A and B are shown apart, each in its own frame.
Chain A
Amino acid sequence: MNERLDLPQGTLDLLILKTVALEPLHGWAISERLQQISREAVQVQQGSLYPALHRLERRGWIKAHWAITDNNRRAKYYELTRQGRKQLEAETTAWRKLAAAVGHVLDLG
């Protein structure tokens, strides 16, 4: 539990974009998916997911619609927009570059 990492600034957005890239998901599903794919290593306070979702929606990278879930409940689904896909690609590349560069520097030491 203690080894969980706090997310660096801005990475939450990237992770959300990645998560909704495959299929439209509602908030809780995104939260669950994040936990799973990050193997519970990343500490995301569930609540702080929502401000991030709303911010991304305002920017037009994801869009939301209300739909009925499998258990017949109304939920707000988020999906990636075309603009969001571009953003995801750009951020992924940037992140890889940064990670490689930081790793390189650390290896030098």
Chain B
Amino acid sequence: MGRDFLYRLRALFHRRAVEAELDDELGFHLEHQAEKYRQAGMPPDELSRRLRLDFGGPDQIREECRDAWGIRLLRDCAQDLRYALRMLRRSPGFTAVAVLSLAIGIGANTAIFTLIESTLLRPISVKHPERLRLLMWTAPDGGWTAPNLGYVSPTFGTIYEQRLTSDKAYMHAEFSPPVYRAIQRDNTVFDPLFAFKELGRVTAVMDGNAEPVNCFLVSGDFYRGMEVSPVIGRAIGPEDDVRTPAGQVALISFEYWTRRFARNPSVIGKTITLNEVPVTIVGVNPEYFTGIEPGANFEIWAPLNLGVAVSGRSYLDEEKVWQIPMLGRLKPGISDARAQSELEALFQAAVASNPGPLDSMLKDPAKRPRFILQSAARGVDYLTERYDRPLLAVLSLAGLVLLIACANVANLLLAKSAVRQREISLRLALGAGRWRIVRQLLTEGLLLASMAGIAGVIFGYWTRNGIPALLATPWKPSPFDAAFDPKVLLVSIGITFLTGVLFSLAPVWQSRRVEVNDALKDGSRGTASLSKLHIGRLLVVLQVALSVLLLAGAGLCVKTFTNLRNMPLGLRPEGVLLFTLDPPLLRYPPDRIGALLTQLQQRLSAIPGVQSATFSGTRTGTSVATENHQPITFDNYARATDIGSGFFETMGIPILYGRAIDEHDTLNGPQAVVVNQELARHFFHQENVVGRTLKGADNVTYQIVGVCADWRFERLRDPFQRLREPIYPTFYNALIQAPRAGRVNFELKIAATEASVEASVVKQIRPVVRSLDSDLAIADVRTGVQQIEDGLAQERVLAGLAAVFGGLALILAAIGIYGVMAYAVARRTNEIGIRVALGARPGGVAWMVLRETLLLAAMGVAIGVPAVLVLSPVADHLLAPGWTDSFLYGMKPNDPLTIAFAVLVLAAAGLLAGYFPARRAARVDPMTALRHD
């Protein structure tokens, strides 16, 4: 085998030497044979005849020897390739169009697949991620688990993770301490089981410098369970995971080590202050380990007890609060089914003995909570749920574009190969095998595809970060990082090969029908009507249909985006600057926070260029009762936000009745609230409710001092998607009157919206905050407009991509139509010449061509429009975010205007594409045409 291979290699690469040897060998033979005959006395003229007779044709022998070398196929392929290259070089226009359109298609698919691979498919980078499991539970329709309640709840802490199951029940990844302890103690399937908790943003102070960092808390078995070892220092172990440690310790991320400490190993043993708590750095995470949440970036990794030190709350001691997420590493050989059944039993027993707030669910068998074991190979994965459907939608769009590009290239090849029918007949007549012809056509197709594939992969590599970049904002990084993976390259090569074969099929199919003498007789003097181009027309019709689909989809996406964008918000985001402050609890407990905020507000207002400054706390939800003492039910739900004085003025929200929250609302004054119109309507059934009272779940009675106009976007950090939600009954109370520790947003109104003023104000925020307390860190500095833009990022990206893909589809379809019609006109020049000679008017001839064009377009539309009607509701439903049924906003999926628009644009493009061939047909000079061969 090896020798055979070497032999072939030599024949292939030392071709010249091998051929020379062959010549020598054959020459040697002939000489000896001639010598033999000469000695036998044969006359010279007889001699050469005999030699030929004995030996056979030397060229044929040579060819047979080459066959024997076993390189014929390779050599033929090389020949095919050279020939194909020559053909492509001879029509650079065709080559450029074909390669470019395919490259765009392949490139788009490569870029999007890169994104899908890194966002939806790639496991987290730890050893054996496939054995990690996330523990979850669900309950069918359990009151507070209904949609729209997925934020802070007083009983359940922050709901860490919620996902919709198929039957629209929420899944939860958080458990109460008794359940955690029971599963931890009694399970036999995990080694180990460990807990974690996202602490969120804290202020790190080091060397007199304050900065915001994100902090992740883990139990003692976390590092063992994830099988992650630090690059330097040590990991967190069970000895660190005690209630009251001698000293707080933490690891830092590789990225933070690089950014903040220039990878200096002396960082080990260094003390930093996190929200007033001194913490010793004991290790640095390896570079590959960025955490268990894809897309998240935590600088600080600490034992769970840091949470106690920082917040005063112990996650492991609040027996009735469900707030502990858990991960486990399955022992080798344990099946999911076995683990599931064991854990379900443990869970049920633990819940039955410590139901806590799940009490009501246990009474109704239909509402009993169920335990769910989920793969955590991708960690605790928010990205999949958020991005899988949009990404798949974009991938389908890109796939459609590629399909249209394929149809286009097939069509171009078809037209070319039709012109080459004569050549093919000639080759057949000269004895070429049909397989050889097919191979030639396939080689040309694959060569085109490979050129496009290389260009496409480069294009895709360049643009792979385009979508993440579009989703990133000035104040927070992109949610995902599109690292290029060899797997992606394989997929691209696969796509390239497939497209090459796909669009070569048409000309191959056509070549099948070529007869040896047919085309030679017929030549280009064809009177062939369009009907001879079955496949070509079919492809154009297909292209038009797909383009209608893409254009309509693009139209719907763009319209949804503009509808959302033009939605009246009820506030003026222009000239508003926002930033976030996280005052550490230990430094600013509730009784000191009011003073801090008021002072900060005063100093910020004094910055030149700032008209007003205000602040707002986090949004919460509560059940409320009016003075009629309605019973508190789910229906009485209202949202609540703490705000500072001047909030409505700064945000540009009109007060319709009464007054806004202002500086008169002091700590000791009556609890004042401003309500929105919706709350007035919902609870009081009237507009002006100034002077009435409200009672919250905390039994505090609030005086309504004003009614503000309804506005959306109440909580400035919410994803803008929530814009589509209805407006909730909401009240605004003075933060000063019910001071709470925790995150605060500041809002500044700037006098002028010029960028220079804005920049100078931004520059002064930090010094002003530091002048008050140098250990406070500000974060997320952004403008109101940026914030809104960010909220619409997903819709904008989707609309933009759909529009780009729709435009490409349109251009490709136009090229396809043009190609087919131009070819038809070229083929029919003789016929047209005769028609003109017989008295046809140029207008009539042009119309004949245009009519064909319109017919093709109409057939495409006739397929495309029903396809839109069927597919768009499906796509709309699939793209819908969990809490609503529809992705589209402000219209139905079969929006007639959008579909009409798509059809019209396509018809216009079709006419334009048909115009040039029609004009050429109209200008045919009968004399030239009839002489034309």
Distance, CA A46 to CA B24, complexed state (A): 15
**C-alpha gap A74/B27 in the complex (Å):** 11
B56 engages A58 (CB within 8 Å):
no
Contact sample, A vs B, 19 pairs, CB 8 Å cutoff = A26-B25, A27-B25, A28-B28, A28-B29, A45-B55, A47-B26, A47-B56, A47-B58, A50-B25, A50-B61, A50-B64, A51-B64, A51-B65, A55-B68, A57-B7, A58-B8, A58-B69, A66-B21, A76-B25
Does B70 count as interface, using CB distance less than 8 angstroms?
A: yes
**Residues in chain A near residue B70, CB distance under 8 A:** 58
Q: Is B3 among interface residues, defined by CB-CB distance under 8 A? A: yes
Q: Tell me which residues across on chain A come within 8 A of B65, comparing CB atoms.
A: 50-51, 54
- From residue A40, how far is it (CB to closest CB) to chain B in Å? 12
The CA-CA distance from A47 to B28 in the complex, in Å, is 12
Partner of B33, one of A46, A58, A75: A46
Task: Tell me if A46 and B54 are in contact (CB < 8 A).
Answer: yes
Instruction: Flag if B56 contacts A51 (CB, 8 Å).
Output: no
**Structural contact, A46 and B29, CB atoms closer than 8 A:** yes
Q: Tell me how far the C-beta of A1 lies from the nearest C-beta in chain B, rounded to whole angstroms.
A: 12
- In the complex, per-residue mask of A12-51: 1 if CB is within 8 Å of any chain B CB, else 0: 0000000000000011100100000000000001111011
For the complex, give the distance between the alpha carbons of A50 and B24 in Å.
12
**Which residues of the partner chain B approach A52 to less than 8 Å between Cβ atoms?**
68
Expressed in whole angstroms, the Cα–Cα distance for A85 and B491 within the complex equals 49
Q: Are B55 and A54 in contact (CB under 8 A)?
A: no
Closest to B21 in A: A76
Q: Is the CB of A50 within 8 A of B67?
A: no
B534 at the interface (CB under 8 A from A): no
Q: Say whether B4 faces chain A, with CB atoms less than 8 Å apart.
A: yes
The residue that B55 contacts in the complex, of A46, A57, A74, A75, with Cβ under 8 A, is A46
Interface string of A47-69 (1 = CB under 8 A from B): 11011101101111000001000
> Is B32's CB within 8 Å of the partner chain A?
yes
Can you name the residue of chain B whose Cβ is closest to the Cβ of A54? B68
Most buried by A among B7, B21, B24, B25: B25
Contacting residues, chain B, for A76 (C-beta < 8 A): 21, 24-25, 28
Which of chain B's residues has its CB closest to A31's CB?
A: B29
What's the minimum C-beta distance from A20 to chain B, rounded to whole angstroms?
Answer: 15
Determine whether the beta carbon of A51 is less than 8 Å from that of B21.
no
Q: Is A104 an interface residue (CB 8 A)?
A: no
Closest chain-B Cβ to A2's Cβ sits at a distance in Å of: 15
Binding site secondary structure of chain A = helix
Contact of B56 among A48, A55, A74 (CB under 8 A): A48
Rounded to whole angstroms, the CA-CA distance of A57 and B70 in the bound complex is 11
Q: How far is the CA of A57 from the CA of B65 in the complex (A)?
A: 11
A4 at the interface (CB under 8 A from B): no
Select one of A28, A55, A74 contacting B32, CB under 8 A: A28
Q: How far is the CB of B15 from chain A (nearest CB, A)?
A: 14
The minimal Cβ–Cβ distance linking B195 to chain A, given in whole angstroms, is: 67
Residues of B within 8 A of A73 (CB): 28
A27-B28, A46-B56, A47-B26 known; 13 new pairs, CB 8 Å cut-off, are A28-B28, A45-B55, A46-B29, A47-B55, A47-B58, A48-B61, A51-B67, A54-B68, A58-B68, A60-B3, A73-B28, A74-B28, A76-B24
The CA-CA distance from A45 to B55 in the complex, in Å, is 6
Which one of B4, B28, B61 contacts A59 once the chains associate, using CB atoms below 8 Å?
Answer: B4
**Chain B residues near A58 (CB, 8 Å)?**
4, 7-8, 68-70
The answer to whether B68 and A45 touch across the interface, beta carbons within 8 angstroms, is no
Nearest CB on B from A70, distance (A)? 12
List the B side residues contacting A57 at CB < 8 Å: 7
Separation of A32 and B547 alpha carbons in the complex (Å):
73
User: B28 touching A75 by the CB < 8 A rule?
Assistant: yes
Across-interface contacts of B4 in A (CB, < 8 A): 58-60
Binding site for B on A (CB under 8 A): 26-28, 31, 45-48, 50-52, 54-55, 57-60, 66, 73-76
> Chain B residue with minimal CB distance to A57?
B7
Complex alpha-carbon distance, A45 and B4, angstroms: 26
CA distance A73 to B541 in the complex (A): 71
Chain A positions within 8 Å of B67 at CB level: 51
Cβ contacts under 8 Å, A47 to chain B:
26, 54-58, 60-61
B21-70 interface with A by 8 A CB criterion: 21-22, 24-26, 28-29, 32-33, 54-58, 60-61, 64-65, 67-70
**A52 vs B69: C-alpha distance in the bound complex, in angstroms?**
10
* Contact (Cβ within 8 A) B56 A28: no
CB nearest neighbor in A for B8: A58
- The answer to whether B54 touches A45 (Cβ under 8 A) is yes
Complex Cα distance, B24 from A73, in Å, reads 11
Inter-chain CA distance A73–B27, complex, in Å, is 12
A46 to chain B, nearest CB (A): 5
A51 to B68, CA, bound (A): 6
Tell me which of A45, A50, A59, A73 has the highest count of chain B C-beta atoms within 10 A of its own C-beta: A50
A81, closest chain B residue (CB): B3
Bound state CA distance, A75 and B21, in angstroms?
A: 10
B24 and A74 contact, CB distance less than 8 A: yes
Residue of A nearest to B61 (CB): A47
Contacts of A60 in B (CB 8 A): 3-4
> A57 CA to B25 CA in the complex, in Å?
14
Bound Cα distance A85, B565 (Å): 86
Residues of A within 8 A of B55 (CB): 45-47
B contact residues around A74 at 8 Å (CB)? 24, 28
B8: which A residues are within 8 A, CB to CB? 58
4 closest Cβ contacts across the A-B interface? Answer: A47-B56, A54-B68, A51-B64, A55-B68
**A74→B69 CA distance, assembly (Å):** 22
Closest Cβ of chain B to A50, distance in Å, is 5
Question: In the complex, what residues of A have CB within 8 A of residue B24's CB?
Answer: 74, 76
Cβ–Cβ < 8 Å partners of B21 in chain A: 66, 76
Report B-chain residues with C-beta under 8 Å of the C-beta of A31: 29, 33
* In the bound complex, CA of A25 to CA of B65 (Å): 18
Residue of B nearest to A83 (CB): B3
Docked pose: A47 CA to B56 CA in angstroms: 6
On whether the beta carbons of A27 and B29 are closer than 8 Å, the reply is yes
- A75 to B26 alpha-carbon distance, docked (Å): 10
Complex alpha-carbon distance, A46 and B51, angstroms: 9
Residue of B nearest to A56 (CB): B68
Please, which residues of chain A bring their CB within 8 A of the CB of B61?
Answer: 47-48, 50-51
Distance A55 CA – B71 CA, assembled complex (angstroms): 12
A17 to B289, CA, bound (A): 66
| A39 CA to B925 CA, complexed, in Å | 77
Q: How far is the CB of B25 from chain A (nearest CB, A)?
A: 5
Contacts of B32 in A (CB 8 A): 28
Residue with the highest number of chain B CB atoms closer than 10 Å, among A26, A28, A47: A47
B340 to chain A, nearest CB (A): 60
Q: Return the chain A residue nearest B63 by Cβ.
A: A51
Whether B28 and A26, one on each chain, are in contact in the complex, defined by CB atoms closer than 8 angstroms, is yes
Q: Known contacts A28-B33, A57-B7; decide if A48 and B28 are in contact (CB<8 Å).
A: no
In the assembled complex, the Cα of A10 lies from the Cα of B141 at a distance in Å of 81
Instruction: Give the residues in chain B near A54, CB-CB below 8 Å.
Output: 65, 68-69
B35 to chain A, nearest CB (A): 10
Interchain CA distance A45-B33 in the complex, whole Å:
13
The distance in angstroms between the C-alpha atoms of A12 and B338, with both chains bound, is 69
Report Cα–Cα, A31/B30, bound state, in Å.
11
Task: Please give me the residue from chain B that is nearest to A45 by CB atom.
Answer: B56
Q: State the Cβ distance, B837 to closest chain A Cβ, in Å.
A: 60
**What's the Cα separation between A76 and B8 when bound, in Å?**
18
Closest to B36 in A: A32
Which residues of chain A have C-beta atoms less than 8 A from B58's C-beta?
Answer: 47
By a CB distance below 8 angstroms, the chain A residues around B33 are 28, 31, 46
The answer for the CA separation of A47 and B62 in the assembled complex, in Å, is: 9
Q: Smallest distance from the beta carbon of B405 to chain A beta carbons, Å?
A: 44
In the bound complex, residues from chain A placing their C-beta under 8 Å from that of B3 are 60
Q: A57 vs B18: C-alpha distance in the bound complex, in angstroms?
A: 13
